[in-house]
Amino acid sequence: MAGAYLWLKAFHIIGVVTWFAAMFYLPRLFVYHSTTEDEAGRARFRMMEDKLYRIIMRPSMLVAVVFGLWTLYLSWDAFASSIWLWIKLAGVVLLLGYHHYCARLVRAFAEDVSPHSERFYRMFNELPALLLVLIVILVVVKPF
């Protein structure tokens, strides 16, 4: 059983790493897209955003969540009363909200609408990094 658990954990981590890679890159595309003035450039960014979201970000999120929930289920008795776990799960919920807001922005840009300023996208781009730091510290250090 321990070997199978480690495989689940490994696939969860792989999903998390690829999901975060996409969450770091997609908002950076929004920054560049929001300042692009020529139609060819906007079309290129629309295609890049759509493919990144559909081919990498969404599947990675699903892998991270499915294997994360599976490992959580198997280790529930050991960690259910740990405060760090509940804070981590709150961070994951925030990440899921961020993910879905990115999907809304991809759809808006696909319709040639940029609902925010370049400055907003630059700040928005930093949120997953902050959540990553929080979650990794909670999981590794378990301060609570």
Whole-number Å distance between alpha carbons of 40 and 23: 24
Where are the chain's structural domains? 2-141
End-to-end CA distance of the chain: 28
**pTM to 2 decimal places:** 0.92
Whole-number Å distance between alpha carbons of 137 and 118: 30
Give pLDDT tens digits for 127-139: 999 999 999 999 9
What pLDDT score was predicted for residue 1? Answer: 62
Whole-number Å distance between alpha carbons of 33 and 109: 8
Check: CB of residue 75 under 8 Å from CB of residue 41. Answer: no
What pLDDT score was predicted for residue 26? Answer: 98
Give pLDDT tens digits for 41-89: 999 999 999 999 999 999 999 999 999 999 999 999 988 899 999 999 9
Q: For residue 117, name the pLDDT band (cuts at 50, 70, 90).
A: very high
Region for residue 142 given its phi and psi (left: phi exceeds 0; alpha: psi -120 to 50; beta: otherwise): left
